Every structure is written in C-alpha cells, then in structure tokens.
C-alpha cells in the first residue's frame, strides 16, 4: 500500500466502517433481539437471514471483505499511534485511545465469534440457532467475553460515526462536534442496550 494513496485508504477505511460494517452491526444486533421474544422467534429470524437469496455474495461483499479491510488497516492505524493520555487527559484523547483498544479487541472477538458460529455451520459441525448460543453463553466467562465484545463494538461504531463526521468535513465547528459527541453517545447507549438484552435472553 503506497503511502501516497494514504488519503484514499483512510477515507475508504472511514467509509467502510459505517457503510456497510456499521449498518451490518446494527442489523445483526436488531435481529439478535428476537431472542428476547423466545426461542421460536429467534430461530425463525435466523432461518430467514440464512435463507436470503445470494447469501454467500452478501456475506462476502457486504460483510467479509469490507470488515477485513477495516480490520487490517485499522490494526495498522492503531499501532502507529503513540498514546499520551497521561499528559493530555481530555475526553477526546481518551476516546482516541479507546477507539484503538476496542478495535484491537474486536479483531480478536470477531475472529473467535465467527469461528464459533458461522465457521462451525460452514463445515457442517453445528447449526446456528438459539441452542447454539444458549450453550455458548451458559459459560459465565463466555457471557462476559460476549458482553465486552458487544459493548466494544457499539462503542467503536458510535465513536466511529463521530470521527466519520469530522473526517469527511461534515462537523467542522467545535459546537457541532460537541453535539455530535452527545448524539453518538445516545447511539452507543441505545445499541448497547439492544445488544446486551439479546445476550441475556440466551441465559
């Protein structure tokens, strides 16, 4: 990757984080929420998602490739930073560091999560349904891991929306950036509630 094209890679990284990865995450958490309505509703929802036409193409082009680029380029970005919250303890500097920490954690979490669910289904070892998740989350350590994973993802998305607005030049003034902070905080809280409620429904 040439450094001269850095601008475009960065903009692509910012865009893909929202569209499609952020949209997919929102959709995923919302569909998971069917679990709160009981085993049958959840299984019906997963069955519907699984039987979407052109599923493999949707998975590759809407999820897999954008997510892979966002993850790998993100790891590179995270490791070029030299964090200094000790001397600059502002909210934005902490969020900057947190964005990088959650990003790295999410790479680990998502690899594990995909291996445990989608990959097992792909090799025909298991079926993705309510029981599968109930089994995984019956382990309190796994439940903790998943809760941290979901909250990391919702934080990373919400803060990513804030950065997206700045990086594309939409919010310029300090005032608009401040209001965007509050709006993205609400997005973070709302998605976290949706995500964690779904997780707890399996327990």
Q: Which residues are annotated as a binding site for heme?
A: 28, 70, 113, 156
Of 98 and 107, which has the nearer Cβ to other proteins?
Answer: 98
List CB contacts of 52: < 8 A, sequence separation 6 or more. Answer: 58
To other proteins, the closest distance from the beta carbon of 96 in angstroms equals 4
Report how far apart, in Å, the C-alpha atoms of 135 and of each of 101, 108, 130, 191 are: 28, 21, 9, 24
93: left (phi over 0), alpha (psi -120 to 50) or beta: alpha
- What gap in Å lies between CA 110 and CA 29, rounded to an integer? 14
Question: Long-range contacts for 49-54 (Cβ within 8 Å, ≥24 apart)?
Answer: 50/128
Among 48, 88, 115, 182, binds other proteins (CB under 8 A): 88
Among 51, 53, 54, 80, binds other proteins (CB under 8 A): 80
| 184: contact with other proteins by CB under 8 A | no
| 178: contact with other proteins by CB under 8 A | no
Of 48 and 76, which has the nearer Cβ to other proteins?
Answer: 76
Q: Which residue has the tokens 């790998």?
A: 72
| 76: contact with other proteins by CB under 8 A | no
| 92: contact with other proteins by CB under 8 A | yes
| 44: contact with other proteins by CB under 8 A | no
Among 101, 167, 183, 197, binds other proteins (CB under 8 A): 167
List CB contacts of 199: < 8 A, sequence separation 6 or more. Answer: 32, 137, 143, 146, 147, 150
Window of 39-47, 66-74, 159-167, 192-200 that interacts with other proteins by CB under 8 A? 159-167
Among 27, 84, 138, 139, binds other proteins (CB under 8 A): 84
Contact 175, 110 (CB under 8 A): no
- Catalog residues that contact other proteins under the rule CB under 8 A: 3-4, 6-11, 77, 80-84, 86-88, 90, 92-93, 96-97, 162-163, 166-174, 177
């Amino acid at each position: 990757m040439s450094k001269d094209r850095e601008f475009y890679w960065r903009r692509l990284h910012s865009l893909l984080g929202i569209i499609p990865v952020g949209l997919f995450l929102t959709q995923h958490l919302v569909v998971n929420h069917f679990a709160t309505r009981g085993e049958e509703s959840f299984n019906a929802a997963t069955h519907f998602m699984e039987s979407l036409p052109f599923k493999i193409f949707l998975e590759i082009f809407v999820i897999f490739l954008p997510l892979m680029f966002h993850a790998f380029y993100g790891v590179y970005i995270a490791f070029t930073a030299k964090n200094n919250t000790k001397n600059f303890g502002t909210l934005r500097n902490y969020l900057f560091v947190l964005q990088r920490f959650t990003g790295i954690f999410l790479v680990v979490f998502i690899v594990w999560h995909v291996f445990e669910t989608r990959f097992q289904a792909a090799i025909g070892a298991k079926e993705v349904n309510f029981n599968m998740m109930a089994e995984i989350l019956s382990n309190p350590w796994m439940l903790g891991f998943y809760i941290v994973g979901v909250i990391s993802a919702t934080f990373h998305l919400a803060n990513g929306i804030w950065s997206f607005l700045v990086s594309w030049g939409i919010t310029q003034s300090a005032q608009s950036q401040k209001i965007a902070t509050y709006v993205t905080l609400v997005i973070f809280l709302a998605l976290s509630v949706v995500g964690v409620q779904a997780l707890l429904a399996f327990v």
